[in-house]
Structure formats: C-alpha cells, structure tokens
Amino acid sequence: MKKMINLKINDIPVTVPEGTSVLQAAKMANIEIPSLCYLKDINCIGACRVCVVEIKGRRGLTAACTYPVEEGLEVLTNTPMVRASRKTTIELILSTHRKKCLSCVRGNHCELQKLAYDYGIDEDRFRGEEPNYEIDETTPYVVRDNNKCIQCLRCVSTCNHVQGVGAIGQIRRGFDVRVGSPFDQGLDSTTCVGCGQCIVSCPVGALYEKSNIDEVWDAIADPKKKVVFFTAPSIAATLGECFDMPPGTHVEDKMVQAIRMLGDVEVFNMNVTADLTILEEANELIERIKTNKPLPMFTSCCPGWIKFMEHNYHDLLPNLSTCKSPQAMFGAVLKSYYCQKNHIDSKDLYVVSVIPCTAKKFEASRPELSYKGIPDVDVALTTRELSRMIKGAGINFKDLPGEEFDNPFAIASGAGKIFGATGGVMEAALRTAANILDGTNEKVDFMDVRGIPGIKEATYKIAGMDVDVCVASGLANARKVVEMIRSGEKKYLFVEIMACPGGCINGGGQPVQSDSVRNYVDLKTLRSSVLYNSDRENDLRCSHESPVCQMLYDEYLEKPGKAKAHSLLHTSYTPR
C-alpha cells in the first residue's frame, strides 16, 4: 500500500498517494491547473510551461505535471506571478500559430483557443516571423498542418510509445524545429498505419482526418446515385459526445434518424457484417486447425493492424485471417448481392461507411477491395465527419425520437455489437467456434478477454481441447505479442489485435476530448460499456444465430468458406 502524503493547494488540505503529481493532486482538490503538453500515461515532459505553479519557500515557478508531491508542500496555483507567466506563455505559443480559427476543424473545441479565452489573451502581443510550411496531404486519411503545431509533442509520444510506429518525431533545429517524418517525407512514404491516434492526441488543429464530407453531399444530391450508409458498432456509443452528451450515452436510434434526415438515403447496420466476419473467421480457424495451416491465426478486421503487419512482419502475413473487415465485407455484399436483388448497376450505388477509424479511409482505397475498378466502399466517414454533416444540416440531434435501421440489413447479434471493444472480436469468435466444435455449447460470456488492459491471455476448454488465446490493443502491445510468438516464448491458437488502445471505441476517428476529460475520465470503459450492455439486452447473442447472415448464405453465399463466399468475403495482403 502506498504511503499517503499531506499537502496544501491554495490553502486546501489534500491527502494523496506518494508519487502523485501536483497536477493530479490539484484535480483531487477540485482545482483545475491548465496544461497543454500533458496527457496521462502518454506525455509528461513539462515542456509547454502552461501548468506552472508557485511552491512556498522556493524561487521561481514549477511545472505541476512533472513535480511529485512532498509532505507539507504548499502549492499556489493562481498567484499574479503564475497567471502572468501562463498568459505570456500562451501569447508566445500563439505568435507562431496560424490562427485560422473560423475554418479550423477544432474551432470551439481547441484547447489552445480555450486557454486564450480563459486568460484574456492578446493574440498579437508578440508579432514575429510566422512559419509557412507545406501542408502534408499525401495520405488518404490524415492531414498534417505544421503551421498550427504548438510543439507539445503529444502526437510524437503517442506514435512512438503508445503505438510503437515512429512515423513522426522532432526534426530540424532552432527556430525551424518541427514535427515531421524522417527526411521530411510525406506520411505516405513512412510506416504510418493510419490509426489516427495522433489526431485524437493533438490539442489543436495541426492534425485532422482528410474529409470526404463534400463528396457525400454531392452523391446525395446526384439523382443518378443510390446512396446507402452503414454504421460501425462503436459509432452509437460515441456520436453523442459530439453533441455534448455524456460519454457512455447510447444514441443508435438518434444516429439512424439523423443520417436518414440528410437526404434520400438508406441506413444499414454494420453489425450484420461483423456477424458475417465471425462466421467466416470461425470457419477459417477450424479449417486451419484441421489442415495444419499457419497458426496462430491473427484477426484481420483492423486495417491499421493489417498495414502494421505489411510494413513490419512480412513472414507472418500468412498467419493473418484472409477475412475482409466488416466494412469491406459490407461494401462487397452491397455492390453484388444488394445491387442484383434491387436491379442497380454497381457503379450507381454510392456506399458510405461511418467508422471510428481513419485507417478505414486507407482500407477503402485498397485495390484489393474493389471490382473492375469500382471500390466496394466509396467513402469512409469518421464519427467526427458524420457529426459535422448532421450539424451542417441543422438537425437537432439531442431531441430526435429515433428510428430503426433499414431492412434487409437491420438485425444483428450482440456478438456483432461488441466488435467495437478490445476483446470483442475474440469473444464473438469464441461463441461461434465453441458452438461449431461442441455442437451444444451455449457459453456466450468469455470474461477473461474483456476489459481495457493492453494484453490479455486466456485458455478455454472447447471440444475437449485447450484453446490458448491472446488479445492486444495498441500497436506497441501488438509488437510485444508478435515478438513473443516469433521467438517461441508464447504459443497461441488465436490472437485478436486492434491498433487503437481499447479498440474501436477509442479509434482515431472518434470524438476528440480535451485533456481535462482524457486525463481524468475513463473514456474507454464508459464507451465499451454501451456495447456490452447492448449485447446483454439482445435476444441474439451469437453471430451464427443471425437471420440476416442465414439469408445471405441461403440466397447468395452458399456456406462459410465455400467458393462464392471466399471470393467475395476474403482478401490478400501486400508486403510494404
């Protein structure tokens, strides 16, 4: 048990565990110390100097984020010297920041903008040379604008330490120092996997997704186009945050109605193809076990993870499941089965996925996921992009009564819903694999693979066989798992990997929350609880129970793993 430390903050007695920072201790006393560069468990470097405080008996100011509490410490957070220092620091940051706030994607949700307002900043107090960097738009998923970068390094720490990718870092020196890629290349020439975790870490508008909003509006307005949307499982758990609703609010019915109000569109449930993915993936796993094909089998529904493997582990590409992701499967089903059934030319069907992930934008552009030059998915919109469309259409989201998904792709199992949380794909697959192998197995809750720890292991007895599984989220954790498998230290049968820590509920396309929320609110748990509650309340708990999947196999796909299903629902990978 940790020793408890007594101190005072603004003359308020506070008792906290040893090792707590002054910044964290102040929060426990309901005192907010502002910060810019600090992100809990990600970045703690004391560089921005916005969180400075006075400590009685000591000269000068101290960064609260890096200073640990001491017995008898007396901290002052709002003295004239502290406020003057913070104000000057913010004004200096603004002196090299391109202040295009009206057109910035982070307008009204910018941490720097809020501090400027709180401290009555004169944005032109220091007028010096303003950098003019070329905006990096080389990838189909993220835009990097160094003209707005404030050198907090939250994105760098996230990319290097949380994700272990290392696509960006500080380059150059002196006044010309900036965040960039090796040799100042565009992101498309790096090992960037498109996870977007840099975007949700950025406090300003220096990083944002490449928007496809205008293309979608144009398609909706085009009388020659039939437009359909489908939404990923986690969107209903997070979209409400864009409309100031508390994290953990389930808004599926409002979301469906809001999308339908954008124009003459149909709205489908991507949980349907999450179920389809499980049926194909469970069948593939069983086939691999029977035929001694490469094991362990890795899940393949996360495009950031797939690109990570294509860059770093060419020798293990055969271990990736060949199943397409739920997004790619839905696009393929819509451009084939749905078009044939409704007498639509596939080039006239405009497919929009709403996803929690910027890597899905890259996935939609992969040539493997198209047919005769026609992409299976025309556009992938992030949660943030959908919210901007809803706001731009003048829809009062909070007051919508809500509606249900459109048929024939409305009904899905709870197993499909939990895809959005780390461990959800594994649990969904185990439910169906256990049923196939045991015949009468009714186990639906696999608790050991739930929760937000970065690496989870479990062993389950299925059909008399010990099945060793592993779940990892965050690519730095994924690298640890892969290296243990490579070295022979670990032997698993089935491994689930998600690129983003916590899974899709914490994806790079999800609502951006300020540091004051991210540092003290467990967003991953609140968001994932929506998915598990929805699963528990669903009459259908297993993917193989899905009537929509059964319809697809009966009418079009034949059986899981068979030629028709394999040609449409499976893919291949490319060493990079």
Q: Which residues are catalytic?
A: 281, 284, 301, 321, 360, 363, 368, 504
Q: 101 Cβ partners below 8 Å, 6+ apart? A: 107, 110, 113
Report DSSP state, residue 8.
E
Return d(Cα 63, Cα 75) in angstroms, integer.
11
Distances (CA, A) of 351 to 326, 329, 405: 14, 12, 15
What are 490's strand-pairing partners?
Answer: none
Q: Are 198 and 179 in contact (CB under 8 A)?
A: no
205 by Cβ neighbours in 10 Å (0-12 / 13-18 / 19+) ranks as buried
| DSSP E strand stretches across 368-476 | 370-371, 374-375, 379-382, 455-462, 465-473
Residue 18: φ, ψ to 5°: -55, 140
Return d(Cα 22, Cα 33) in angstroms, integer.
9
Distances (CA, A) of 264 to 22, 221, 259, 267, 301: 54, 9, 10, 10, 30
Return d(Cα 97, Cα 178) in angstroms, integer.
12
- Report the chain's C-alpha Rg in angstroms: 25
Q: 257 Cβ partners below 8 Å, 6+ apart? A: 400, 401, 402, 403
Question: If DSSP codes are grouped into helix, strand and coil, which group holds residue 158?
Answer: helix
Residue 348: φ, ψ to 5°: -95, -5
What are 471's strand-pairing partners?
Answer: 456, 496
**DSSP H or E segment with residue 291:** helix 271-291
By C-alpha distance, which of 141, 151, 34, 162 is closest to 384? 141
Question: If DSSP codes are grouped into helix, strand and coil, which group holds residue 276?
Answer: helix
Q: Are 413 and 543 in contact (CB under 8 A)?
A: yes
